[in-house]
Amino acid sequence: MRDLTADFQPLAAFRKQPSVFAKLMKKTQRPLVLTVNGKPELVVQTAESYQHLLDLAARQNASEGIRQGLEDIKKGRRRPAREVFADFEAKRGLSS
């Protein structure tokens, strides 16, 4: 886990020199926590690191879906695929 306390900066300092902080974040690949009145208020990060977080979240959602599916199988909550597709087609007026 990263120590974000090392990357705290006042919002006012960031507003005065955003390009300096942008270069720092690109170099360190760490987010920057901006404070207002000494309290953390915002987190700024590079687009690349933000995309990485989105990718991790998407993978986690997929992993959770798989976990739930496996749990359903263990508990006997399952149906044959043919039955599922037949119901799907019937509800939408499709014919196979």
Q: Where are the domains of the chain?
A: 4-45, 49-91
Q: Give the whole-number percent of the chain exceeding pLDDT 90.
A: 80
| Mean pLDDT computed over 54-71 | 91
**Which DSSP helix (H) or strand (E) runs through 57?**
helix 47-74
On the question of pLDDT at 8 being above 90, the answer is yes
Model confidence, pTM: 0.60
Cα 15 to Cα 53: distance, rounded to the nearest angstrom: 25
User: Coil, strand or helix: which one is 86?
Assistant: helix
State the pLDDT at residue 95: 76
Average pLDDT on 24-51 reads 94
User: How confident is the prediction for the chain on average, in pLDDT?
Assistant: 90
Amino acid at 10: P
